[in-house]
Amino acid sequence: MARGKAATLEEKIKKVQDKISDLNEKIANAENELKELEAQKKERDLAELQAIVNESGKSIEDVKQMLLGN
């Protein structure tokens, strides 16, 4: 059975370059998704902290003083 034409060195290089480009794009997309998820988590954590402070009846200044020991 005959095989197809062997890829030239240039074709192999191009194929690897394309693969690297695709992987870099996937990495960039994953990094953007991670940043968005981290921002959402931070927002959720801040809202949760705000709710706790509100429920405590203390002001933000009171909580800062408690945490900083002033």
d(CA 56, CA 37): 29
CA–CA gap between residue 51 and residue 44 (Å, rounded): 11
| Per-residue pLDDT in tens (0 to 9) along the chain, 70 residues | 456 678 899 999 999 999 999 999 999 999 999 999 999 999 999 999 999 999 999 999 999 999 998 6
Q: What does the pLDDT read at residue 29?
A: 98
Instruction: Compute CA distances 15 → 3, 12, 21, 42, whole Å.
Output: 19, 5, 10, 41
Tell me what pLDDT residue 6 has. Answer: 82
pTM greater than 0.85: no
